[in-house]
Chain A
Amino acid sequence: MGKQVGVWVGCFGAGFKRRKSWLGEGSSVAKLILRAESLKAGIFAHLVRETPPTRRDLLTTEHLPVETITRLLDRSDYFVEMLRIPSPFQKLRTLEGRTVANLFFENSTRTRISFELAERRMGADHVTLTPSGSSMTKGESVLDTVRVIEAMKVDAVVVRHSVSGVPGFLAGHLPTHVHVVNAGDGAHEHPTQALLDAAELRAALGDLRGKRVVIVGDILHSRVARSNVWLLKKFGAEVVLVGPSTLLPRHAEKVFGVEVSWKMDDALVKADAVMMLRIQMERMAGGFFPSLEDYSSRYGLSASGAGARRSASCVILHPGPVNLGVELDAEVSGGEQSLVLKQVKRGVAVRMAVLEWMFESETSSRVE
């Protein structure tokens, strides 16, 4: 790596202009730099908005305009209806000729399959890279991996990574025409999850303004919680974050502008919806609570025990997979108020809507 590579130093924000001259205006690097120049915010934010006029990415819900969210939710309603049609399902041709690479640097089954199905149903070709059996475990950097995939000509990458900010970082380094979708980055964001949650909440509760949504569990490590907070607040919902004090991030009230509590029972009294987060067993090695029994007795929902003070109309969400008997017991999970399976179905529809929206910017000049 010599001086040529040095061009990327500091490539997150300031300092692009000066390189233009010696790179030559026509080079792909220069184009990328020109694009990056128009993006003023930081790495985690700067490629999230619809704004790069030539490209749409989905990196966060924090920076996604409410009109775009509404459109994505509306389209997902349409796709849900369409998916109701009995097989054989007529594949759409919207993304015919497009190739999407699913780069799962961190393991996932549900999200990966959901994206793959959405891609297939929209007519795209797709490839999937998972951590086992790839160069990711051989010390190749994430940027190198993605550059190699890009060189094989793909039109979009769906990225999941265990470190916050990676999709945004990659978006800043990929050529103009390659879209980036965040499929979950560290404990930062998981925008498609929040979109599907919002779609199901909207279907169950109607307008979300003034609705009280309680998010329960490991807030500290949860990208689902963060994406949901930003999105729900945009629709005027009242969000409460609940969990043991060891799993509540510092200054969460101020940073997110929400209520924070460790008393689930109190928080649930007037709740319209409760979103139970999955306890990641592997993360709990840090000793955040004494035992799963202790956790579930305080923060689990069961038919008779904890959380029984919630109203009968309160709907229950869980991003899955459920640790039965920890966050939810089987009765609650399979109960009438549970949206768990609907969420899964909605996941495919929402991801179809996202793919359609992303590529739409290229096929028509229409600006929302």
Chain B
Amino acid sequence: MNLLLQNARIIDPSQKLDASGMDIEIRNGVIARIGQGLKPDGDSRDLAGAVVAPGFFDMHVHLREPGQEYKETIESGLGAAMAGGFTGVCCMPNTEPSISDPFVVSYIKEKAAGHLVDLTICGTMTKDRAGEELSRMDALAKSGIRMISDDGVALRSSQMMRRVFEYAKMFDLLVTQHCEEHTMTVKAPVNEGRVSTKLGLTGWPSVAEEIVLSRDILLAEYVGGVRYHAAHLSTKGSVRIVREAKSRGVAVTCEVTPHHFALTEDAVERHGTMAKMNPPLRTQEDIDAIIEGLKDGTIDCISTDHAPHATHEKETDMVSAAFGIIGLETALPLGITHLVESGRLSLVEYITKCSVNPRAALRLPQVSVKEGTLANLTIFDPKAKWRFMEQDIRSKSHNTPFIGQDFVGKVIGSINNGLSHWPR
């Protein structure tokens, strides 16, 4: 692939680079030259007003394959990732069968081969996510796994969690927890607060997240030498707990989803089951704490928790309905609209959360906008105003409350592995 990108603003946090009016010459998928006033020698694209950043990486997506291809496939999921401007994603292991064995890893890898979007795979931490036996971490690590998690459920037993930490550190695996104290969240579709009280639905209290997060941090610290990552945190208390742990030097990282900083529990009254998430949408106070945590570095990454579900799984009552929404295609516009455009985060800070930090947490090689490296780029217009429509959706499922929403910030394209994609 040969292409000249013209008049772009390059923002690359890894090089502390923010330069406007730059041209990038790509030859055979590699960045050959970066400069000003480069002469086109073949295809070129004028990117005036657009930002070119190191490719975005989403470390928490559900691609549903194998086993639930009616919701999403690796192909449709990676297509959605590409449409959302991501050049890499990590898929979670709650498939059927779960990613507890290397043969599932090879199956997934084969399906994802040759795509613009790099696929990293997360294995389970216990066999079939049942919480009873350790997964085959050695074999999983050898097949290229860098992260393990029983995502969707938290590991209930503290003793088992300790063993997971002890065993995982032999293979330098990042241990990721879905923090939920399950005895406190039985049939609880919404946050415990205003909406649960008003509607008479069982509440999923913030403390149920914080209990497991605290326990894990204590165990990780006790075991030592292990890297812990808390998935999709949602509460003010969680931000405080991680901040305090980091200040003590515990090797903890964490992420938040766009919907947890874009919506409060009030969305349940407007959107019904489309606003049913796990963890649930919280309050404005929690959102303020999350944004503060993003700002001060307590929260490392923005991940989507892209969770495709078929229509009939959402078109039902609040208790039976599935948790979660698709997120890959709304992540960037939600981030720009709610974090950057609102003045809470700079573009450099935002890109750091979407590109640099996820790869760092997973210990993947960093990507840079640098001569001589493979072009791995996310290109977006941070000022474009547009409306998200159902026909835009590339994911196989359409479960999102954001249809019809006006956004600021739009993906223009992405380049990786010698391929480029320009949605419109």
Contacts and interface: CB of A to CB of B under 8 A. Distances in A.
Interface of A: 1, 5-6, 8-15, 17-19, 41-45, 141-143, 161-166, 169, 173, 186-189, 221-223, 226, 249-252, 254-256
Contact of A255 (B194, B316, B319, B389): B194
A43 B269 contact: yes
Contacts of A164: 199-201, 318
Interface residues of B, number: 37
Interface of B: 192-194, 196-201, 203, 268-274, 310-312, 314-320, 389-391, 398-401, 403-405
25 contacts: A8-B315, A9-B315, A9-B399, A10-B271, A10-B390, A12-B272, A12-B273, A14-B401, A15-B390, A15-B404, A18-B404, A42-B268, A42-B269, A43-B271, A45-B269, A163-B318, A164-B200, A165-B201, A165-B318, A186-B199, A186-B201, A188-B199, A226-B198, A249-B196, A251-B193
Given A10-B390, A10-B401, A169-B317, A42 B193 contact: no
Contacts of B198: 226, 255-256
B201 A187 contact: yes
A252 B312 CA distance: 33
Given A45-B269, A165-B318, A186-B199, 11 more contacts: A1-B311, A12-B271, A41-B269, A42-B272, A161-B317, A165-B199, A165-B201, A187-B199, A250-B193, A251-B197, A256-B197
Contacts of B270: 12-14, 41-42
Interface centre among A8, A165, A166, A252 (most CB of B within 10 A): A165
A29 B382 CA distance: 38
A141 B316 contact: yes
Given A1-B311, A18-B404, A164-B318, A252 B271 contact: no
B306 to A, nearest CB: 16
B272 A169 contact: yes
Contacts of A169: 272, 317
B372 to A, nearest CB: 46
B201 to A, nearest CB: 5
Contacts of B316: 141-143
Contacts of A166: 317
B312 A5 contact: yes
Contact of A18 (B271, B315, B389, B401): B389
| A-side interface mostly | loop
A250 B199 contact: no
Contacts of A42: 268-272
A311 B174 CA distance: 66
Interface centre among B193, B196, B198, B268 (most CB of A within 10 A): B198
A15 B316 CA distance: 18
A142 B320 CA distance: 10
Q: Which 5 A-B pairs have the closest CB atoms?
A: A187-B200, A42-B269, A12-B272, A163-B317, A43-B272
Contacts of A165: 199, 201, 272, 317-318
Nearest to B186: A286
Contacts of B193: 250-251
A143 B315 contact: yes
A166 B274 CA distance: 14
Nearest to B203: A250
Contacts of B318: 163-165
A252 B195 CA distance: 11
B312 A14 contact: no
Contacts of B400: 10
Nearest to B197: A249
B80 to A, nearest CB: 15
A92 B208 CA distance: 55
Interface centre among A45, A187, A189, A222 (most CB of B within 10 A): A187
Interface centre among B197, B318, B319, B404 (most CB of A within 10 A): B197
A254 B198 CA distance: 10
Contacts of B203: 249-250
A132 B125 CA distance: 42
A59 to B, nearest CB: 12
A138 B320 CA distance: 14
B310 A1 contact: yes
B313 to A, nearest CB: 10
Nearest to A221: B200
A219 B90 CA distance: 44
A186 B200 contact: yes
Contacts of B317: 142, 161, 163, 165-166, 169
A222 B197 CA distance: 10
B200 A188 contact: yes
Nearest to B269: A42
Contacts of B201: 163-165, 186-188
